[in-house]
Copies of this chain bind each other. A is one copy, B any other.
Amino acid sequence: MSERVVQHLEGMTDEIIERLRAYVACASVSADPAFAAGMASAREFLMNRFAKVGLENLQLLDGGGHPAIYGDWLHAPGKPTLLVYGHYDVQPPDPLDQWQTPPFELTRKGDRLYGRGASDNKGSSTIAIESLAAFLAVEGEFPLNLKVLFEGEEEIGAPSLPKIFDQSGDLLKADLVLSADGGRMGFWPALNVGCRGIIKLELTLETSARDLHSGRYGGTTHNALQDMARLLASLHDNEGRILVEGMLDPSILPTSAQRAEVAELGLDEDAFFATFDGMAHGDPAYTAHERLVLLPTVEINGIWGGYTGPGSKTIIPSAAHAKITARLVSGQDPDAIAQAIKRHLEAACPKGARLVVKTYGGGAPAYTLPKDNPLLIAADRILRRETGKAPVRVRHGGTLPVTSIFREKLGADTLMFGFGLPADGVHAPNESYAIESIREGLRCWPMLISEIGAIVAEEKPAAGASPRAAAGA
């Protein structure tokens, strides 16, 4: 029955892009309190859209941080419940001077749309919202119960989402989770079956009580920036192998089966590196694609310290700062790895420097979707039908902390069904989204909803499926 929905959507691309423009205009940067108004306007935009779609029971769920938005359609008694997930927050637009168009004005150039969030996640979640709207408009109903949860803290590690589940666990109860977040590697047919975890650390190094004149003190004492450079350089060897003890335990190294799966995807490394004018770096015993999805990382996200203004200031800086994130693979515990990095840094800290390492923003373990997940089976079927080929299973190098939270709090697994591409440049200046990605998404999402409806119709009703009661209505 999804054909009619897809046809309904086919002529609507321009109209949908206009709505995406209004959504991108909400400058919803969760990391920076200066963007509170943009966060509020993004919530208002979604509340209005969800109401137009025909969702009910709309409400904000406040866990003490940026509230999440909830809505539902629970008119399929006895059927399982599908939770559709997205996030309305975006990464900071910095560095502003590198944007060629205003970050919060969606700008079309050729076959792409430019703006912060154009891809991650406003573009991909627009596909989800429009698909739901068209489905209900054309079919009058969904083939199973449906809930939406759009959070506002994905880009900062979803710190208050667990609390939202603790407060509203019954309301959010679901059997399956379909995520509008998560990208694809650029090849069809492929299905995301897992992602890496993450931890975040902030380092402060202090070597003196105040900045010192580099002439009157230079040569006698520690320079916080020099010490920070040594400290950060100690994390990797020359080829980019991680040197943190306990981070490359043999138990987490890729199996030959995993490596074969990745090899099957046949990433064109030259083309991959050409998209960002970069070069391969990392353990040469593995391919770039293996390093991307099967191995952990330690990346420096930011460093600051000393004088960074125009001209010179001849000082020995007293303090240096750095932000670090590490991506984790299956079998790595976020807390244990954070401790391992902390131990490494403390051991490598030059004597005479005072180091503080703090974790922040919440960690998340890596995630793997079980092979028998109904959404995975449904997605496999529609991609075979669409492309005539068996989709390959791919893991994702990024992190969707919510997948772990959904498994822990709902006991439900998550299919990532986002349509971002590597060329989108998410998190960077000039983020963009291919208009073709919108078109593809608007075909696949209705088909997937239809297909999961068919699958659940074949199966026994989910245990305790009483959606009205679950919704607390």
The stretch that binds B, out of A37-45, A217-225, A461-469, is A217-225
Instruction: Report B-chain residues with C-beta under 8 Å of the C-beta of A308.
Output: 302-304, 321, 323
Instruction: Report B-chain residues with C-beta under 8 Å of the C-beta of A212.
Output: 276, 278, 425, 427-428
Closest to A421 in B: B216
The stretch that binds B, out of A140-148, A162-170, A391-399, A438-446, is A391-399
In chain A, positions 184-225 with a C-beta closer than 8 Å to chain B are 195-196, 198, 200, 207-223, 225
B292 lies within 8 A of A317 (CB): no
Give bound CA distance, A168 to B229, whole Å.
46
B92 lies within 8 A of A214 (CB): no
Closest to A287 in B: B220
Mostly, the A contact residues are: loop
B216 lies within 8 A of A226 (CB): no
Candidates B210, B215, B223, B235; contact of A276 at CB < 8 Å: B210
Instruction: Report B-chain residues with C-beta under 8 Å of the C-beta of A317.
Output: 300-302
Task: Return 5 A-B CB contacts under 8 Å, by A number.
Answer: A208-B278, A212-B278, A213-B398, A216-B292, A281-B352
Instruction: Report B-chain residues with C-beta under 8 Å of the C-beta of A384.
Output: none
Give bound CA distance, A212 to B301, whole Å.
10
Closest to A307 in B: B302
Give bound CA distance, A327 to B217, whole Å.
11
Candidates B198, B221, B297, B397; contact of A281 at CB < 8 Å: B221
Of the listed residues A98, A196, A273, A278, the one surrounded by the most CB atoms of chain B closer than 10 A to its CB is A278
Candidates B209, B292, B311; contact of A219 at CB < 8 Å: B292
The stretch that binds B, out of A5-13, A25-33, A130-138, A447-455, is A25-33
In chain A, positions 407-442 with a C-beta closer than 8 Å to chain B are 422, 425-430
Give bound CA distance, A229 to B203, whole Å.
14
Does A94 make an interface contact (CB < 8 A)?
yes
Does A236 make an interface contact (CB < 8 A)?
yes
Does A177 make an interface contact (CB < 8 A)?
no
B427 lies within 8 A of A313 (CB): yes
B302 lies within 8 A of A303 (CB): no
Instruction: Report B-chain residues with C-beta under 8 Å of the C-beta of A102.
Output: none
B303 lies within 8 A of A210 (CB): no
Closest to A288 in B: B220
Give bound CA distance, A396 to B217, whole Å.
10
